[in-house]
Amino acid sequence: MARSDDGQVVRLEDYRPTDFLIEHVEMRFELFENEALVETVSTLRRREGTDPASPLVLDGDALDFVSASVNGLDIAGDRLDVSPDRLRVALPEATAAQAVQLSVRTRLRPEDNTQLMGLYRTNGVWCTQCEAEGFRRITYFLDRPDVLATYRVRVEADRRAAPVLLSNGNPVEAGALGDDRHFAVWDDPFPKPSYLFALVAGDLDPIEERFRTRSGRDVRLTIYTEKGLSSRAGYAMDALKRSMVWDERRFGLEYDLDVFNIVAVGDFNMGAMENKGLNVFNHKYVLLDPDTATDGDYQGVETVIAHEYFHNWTGNRITCRDWFQLCLKEGLTVYRDQEFTSDERSRAVKRIASVHTLKSHQFPEDQGPLQHPVRPTRYREINNFYTATVYEKGAELVRMIATILGETRFRAGMDLYFARHDGDAATIEDFIRCFEEAGETDLSQFSRWYAQAGTPTLEVRESFADGRLTLDFSQSLAPGSAGTPTAPLVIPIRFGLVDRAGRDIEAVPEAGSAEVEGDVILLTEPRASVVFADLPERPLVSVLRGFSAPVTLLHAQAEADRLALARLDPDPFGRWRALTDLVGERLRDGAKAGGTEAGATDPAIAEALIASVEDGRLEPALRAQMMQLPGEAEIARLIGRDVDPERVHAVREAVLAQIARTGSERLSHVEATLGGDAGFSPDAASAGRRALRNALLLPLSLADGSPERAARRYRDADNMTDRLAALTVLAHVFPDSDLATQAVGSFFQRFEDDALVMDKWFLLLATVPRPDTLERVEALAQHPLFRLSNPNRARALIGGFATGNQRAFNRADGAGYRWVAEQLRRLDPVNPQTAARLATAFRSWRAFEPVRQGHARAALEDLAATPGLSRDLADIVVRSLN
């Protein structure tokens, strides 16, 4: 049963260290077909200076208690008070000088655990997920990140059901038991919090490689998959080795155990988990081959493998003091994985992709009812704070520190952080202090970014006279943003002044200007100006290069200048930003004006889009990104209120049609000069060419007015990237054509046994941009391959529909909202965490016009009134209504 909402709020200001320290944990797991027995022996002592009479209170969650003893003697009666959710024991014998051993036995039913938190089974494999508070579903414990202990774990199971027995750390012993059972013992010498505990047992196939660290330590790397899938883990292994090399080179960080194990499972609530020495992954982020995975999937695997590996230092060796500090490990680790991808692939392409993610996920969160500071100060359910704000905006804050300090001083701050806090459960203040000391700078004003929710607005005005360029900057926050009062932030603004030949001009700011360091202006006041004198001509002003701060930019810049920057800013990111912002504004204004004819279909815009695709100076991946129109949800966000998704859809279609009409010959020419690739290689350059070729398919098919081209591409495809791109055009643009129906059917038949590909199939059908997709999706929920209890499948159909289908989810009759709410009600008792995550699809409901708003509110209120709703889902629904 899911915990129901008990209304408890956890507050940052209430943080207190524990009265007891747990130094060492010995666990024994006996795994059987229908139950698991767990014995946990904790060596603990009282913290110096605490009340010697205070009892030990351990966390539990729906536990079945068997017995407990202290120093080998059974305890019961008035010393012990135990419920499924708590164990309280009087421990007068424990002092600061004298440790005691507390042994607790629990009985688990992993096969009934559909929440996928704690110990559960997936396709027969025993597997754990403990972050954030899953360890308390295994045993009673001080289940919080500031209690660090070494662990020794013994796992026993039937040899046939589970020939592979894994836990954290290094393997120390293994052997046979009677009755065809066997055991393995694992020892983790690095003190860790319980959320990093892991256990896996099952019949798994390994692939194995060796890695020698730069100081000469040999590490055995193993990736385990379910039987028959290991041939798809090769790219993940390659990405792991590249991550290990990169962390040594870039940050001087080496791996620290004798083995590093990764296990891929099919049922997993999230992407992956960084448990010490034993990462557990969703199949989606390990298993790949060209026939079943897209270039996007390859990139995703590389990113998540790197991310989890990098957590070994930023998360594990240095962990979080409490869950309010989650961004300490997540924001920093996302920053590190973004840097890894930038170094391994293309920096500009990666930056554009990251900014796209930030704008499409974090901005709407930060501008709606689920808004919260990067470091929140209160929560009801911590699992609901693994958000785009903590992860993506958290990474932006680290990036701003790097921008403000410069590379050398930033690296010195990181070095100090690792040297000073290795082995600690740290806070954001600890982290910031390292950069203040190593960078010899004061970051107290900068720290407001961690406390202040909401997307700040940065306004820029420029004027030019007599060779003098004046840039006036001002910053503001939307009123009502949650967090500390809206005091001015520190906003680093990377910029360039560009001449008409597309070259950066050197210019020195006049005295009295705001602080300028190289190509970064530091805005610290509500408003400030910078003046550049002695300019031969009025330059083009390229601001916020690299998206140097997570803000909404309002730059009153002439359209001609913006189009010129889109063509010739020497900074490729600057080109993308100039174009994408201009296109976004046009779509916004067109949708507001309500007509498909009005404003949006400006020939200059279509021309700029086509010209950027033609520009051979840009790498193909970038040209594909330039051509991407803002999605319907993004246009809705730019409109902000009273949104009619039908108008948004229509205006976007109109611009697409115009590009097709006016550009088809030029785009065909681009396609012809690109040529084809012989065979499939997942490298960035090949992927970029595929991305551009596939981006051209839509306008060219629209120009044809026929599905033939996409059907041919579908038939000829020798990899999933091309196949899925073609299928998407068929199913989304020509849904009523026989060719589309045939392709959708043949895709199903070919891949019906492959779960990851079937997720793509469900997602594709859930996102057909038509209001009547709802009826189709209702039918798909009855499909024999639909399984509500598998998070990937639930996300594909329900999540795909609710977040990837603006027209159908936001149907004027409210049926889309009601259907999603109904699915959430069904999913909640099975897997509350996934239900809560899917419910965030409602986060922008207030931006719509009144009729839709009314339907959305009614659906949410109905959900809120459901008896026995989990704390996870109730928290999201209640906050969304506030």
Give the active site residues.
Answer: 308
Residue matched to tokens 């602080």: 515
382 versus 743: smaller Cβ distance to ligand ARG: 382
Q: Give the span between the Cα atoms of 379 and 12, in whole angstroms.
A: 9
User: Is 641 strand, coil or helix?
Assistant: coil
CA-angle at 852, arms to 847 and 858, nearest 5°: 105
Considering the rule CB under 6 A, would residue 138 count as an interface residue with ligand ARG? Answer: no
Query: Candidates 272-280, 406-414, 604-612, 744-752 — which segment interacts with ligand ARG by CB under 6 A?
Result: 272-280
Query: Candidates 270-278, 779-787, 807-815, 817-825 — which segment interacts with ligand ARG by CB under 6 A?
Result: 270-278
The residue number whose beta carbon is nearest to ligand ARG equals 386
723 versus 837: smaller Cβ distance to ligand ARG: 837
Query: Which of 864, 762, 777, 774 shows the shortest CA–CA distance to 814?
Result: 774
User: Which of 59, 274, 322, 462 is close enough to bind ligand ARG by CB under 6 A?
Assistant: 274
Provide the CB-side half-sphere exposure for 206 (13 A, CA).
Answer: 14
Residue 131's binding partner out of Zn ion, ligand ARG, none, with CB under 5 to 8 Å set by partner kind = ligand ARG
* DSSP single-letter state for residue 16: -
Residue 273's binding partner out of ligand ARG, Zn ion, none, with CB under 5 to 8 Å set by partner kind = ligand ARG
113 versus 316: smaller Cβ distance to Zn ion: 316
Residue 240's binding partner out of Zn ion, ligand ARG, none, with CB under 5 to 8 Å set by partner kind = none
Sorted by sequence, the CB contacts under 8 Å of residue 811 that are 6+ apart come out as 771, 774, 817
Residue 132's binding partner out of Zn ion, ligand ARG, none, with CB under 5 to 8 Å set by partner kind = ligand ARG
Element holding 806 (H helix, E strand):
helix 806-809
* DSSP single-letter state for residue 456: P
Binding mask 386-425 for ligand ARG (x = CB under 6 A): x---------------------------------------
The count of residues in the chain is 882
In the bound complex, what is the minimum distance in angstroms from residue 386's beta carbon to ligand ARG?
A: 4
* Cβ proximity of 156 and 181 under 8 Å: yes
Query: Candidates 268-276, 630-638, 709-717, 774-782 — which segment interacts with ligand ARG by CB under 6 A?
Result: 268-276
| Measured distance between the N- and C-terminal CA atoms of the chain, rounded to whole angstroms | 27
Sorted by sequence, the CB contacts under 8 Å of residue 398 that are 6+ apart come out as 331, 332, 335
Q: Which residues, numbered 618-677, are part of the site for ligand ARG (CB under 6 A)?
A: none
Binding mask 314-343 for Zn ion (x = CB under 5 A): ----------------x--x----------
Q: Give the span between the Cα atoms of 388 and 384, in whole angstroms.
A: 11
Q: Give the span between the Cα atoms of 543 and 514, in whole angstroms.
A: 15
Query: Which amino acid appears at position 853 of this protein?
Result: Q
Considering the rule CB under 6 A, would residue 820 count as an interface residue with ligand ARG? Answer: no
391 versus 848: smaller Cβ distance to ligand ARG: 391
In the bound complex, what is the minimum distance in angstroms from residue 383's beta carbon to ligand ARG?
A: 4
330 versus 619: smaller Cβ distance to Zn ion: 330
Sheet containing strand 56-59, strands side by side: 56-59, 86-89, 80-83
Considering the rule CB under 6 A, would residue 273 count as an interface residue with ligand ARG? Answer: yes
* Cβ proximity of 688 and 620 under 8 Å: yes
Binding mask 106-135 for ligand ARG (x = CB under 6 A): -------------------------xx---
295 versus 308: smaller Cβ distance to ligand ARG: 308
In the bound complex, what is the minimum distance in angstroms from residue 767's beta carbon to ligand ARG?
A: 24
Radius of gyration, CA atoms only, the chain = 28
Query: Candidates 36-44, 266-274, 475-483, 601-609 — which segment interacts with ligand ARG by CB under 6 A?
Result: 266-274
In the bound complex, what is the minimum distance in angstroms from residue 131's beta carbon to ligand ARG?
A: 5
In the bound complex, what is the minimum distance in angstroms from residue 390's beta carbon to ligand ARG?
A: 9
116 versus 873: smaller Cβ distance to Zn ion: 116
Considering the rule CB under 6 A, would residue 330 count as an interface residue with ligand ARG? Answer: yes
Q: Which residues, numbered 370-389, are part of the site for ligand ARG (CB under 6 A)?
A: 383, 386
| DSSP string for residues in 311-368 | TTTBTTTBEESSGGGHHHHHHHHHHHHHHHHHHHS-HHHHHHHHHHHIIIIIHHHHTS
* Cβ proximity of 540 and 555 under 8 Å: no
196 versus 720: smaller Cβ distance to ligand ARG: 196
Q: Give the span between the Cα atoms of 873 and 519, in whole angstroms.
A: 46
User: Is 277 strand, coil or helix?
Assistant: coil
User: Which of 119, 244, 270, 724 is close enough to bind ligand ARG by CB under 6 A?
Assistant: 270
Number of residues in contact with ligand ARG, rule: CB under 6 A?
A: 11
Element holding 149 (H helix, E strand):
strand 149-158
Query: Which of 162, 160, 182 shows the shortest CA–CA distance to 173?
Result: 182
In the bound complex, what is the minimum distance in angstroms from residue 334's beta carbon to ligand ARG?
A: 8
In the bound complex, what is the minimum distance in angstroms from residue 117's beta carbon to ligand ARG?
A: 8
Secondary structure (H, E, C), 484-501: CCCCCCCEEEEEEEECCC
In the bound complex, what is the minimum distance in angstroms from residue 605's beta carbon to Zn ion?
A: 39
Residue 383's binding partner out of ligand ARG, Zn ion, none, with CB under 5 to 8 Å set by partner kind = ligand ARG
Considering the rule CB under 6 A, would residue 194 count as an interface residue with ligand ARG? Answer: no
* Cβ proximity of 537 and 508 under 8 Å: no
In the bound complex, what is the minimum distance in angstroms from residue 198's beta carbon to ligand ARG?
A: 12
61 versus 632: smaller Cβ distance to ligand ARG: 61
* Cβ proximity of 700 and 668 under 8 Å: yes
Considering the rule CB under 6 A, would residue 543 count as an interface residue with ligand ARG? Answer: no
Element holding 208 (H helix, E strand):
strand 204-212
Q: Give the span between the Cα atoms of 796 and 780, in whole angstroms.
A: 11
Q: Give the span between the Cα atoms of 548 and 574, in whole angstroms.
A: 11
Query: Which amino acid appears at position 472 of this protein?
Result: D
Considering the rule CB under 6 A, would residue 196 count as an interface residue with ligand ARG? Answer: no
In the bound complex, what is the minimum distance in angstroms from residue 246's beta carbon to Zn ion?
A: 17
In the bound complex, what is the minimum distance in angstroms from residue 304's beta carbon to ligand ARG?
A: 8
User: Is 598 strand, coil or helix?
Assistant: coil
Considering the rule CB under 6 A, would residue 839 count as an interface residue with ligand ARG? Answer: no
118 versus 454: smaller Cβ distance to ligand ARG: 118
Considering the rule CB under 6 A, would residue 876 count as an interface residue with ligand ARG? Answer: no
Q: Give the span between the Cα atoms of 812 and 855, in whole angstroms.
A: 8
Token pair for residue 786?
A: 């639909």
Considering the rule CB under 6 A, would residue 453 count as an interface residue with ligand ARG? Answer: no
In the bound complex, what is the minimum distance in angstroms from residue 306's beta carbon to ligand ARG?
A: 11
Torsion, Cα 545 550 554 560, to 10 degrees, reads 30
Considering the rule CB under 6 A, would residue 236 count as an interface residue with ligand ARG? Answer: no
Interface residue list for Zn ion (CB under 5 A): 330, 333
Interface residue list for ligand ARG (CB under 6 A): 131-132, 270, 272-274, 307-308, 330, 383, 386
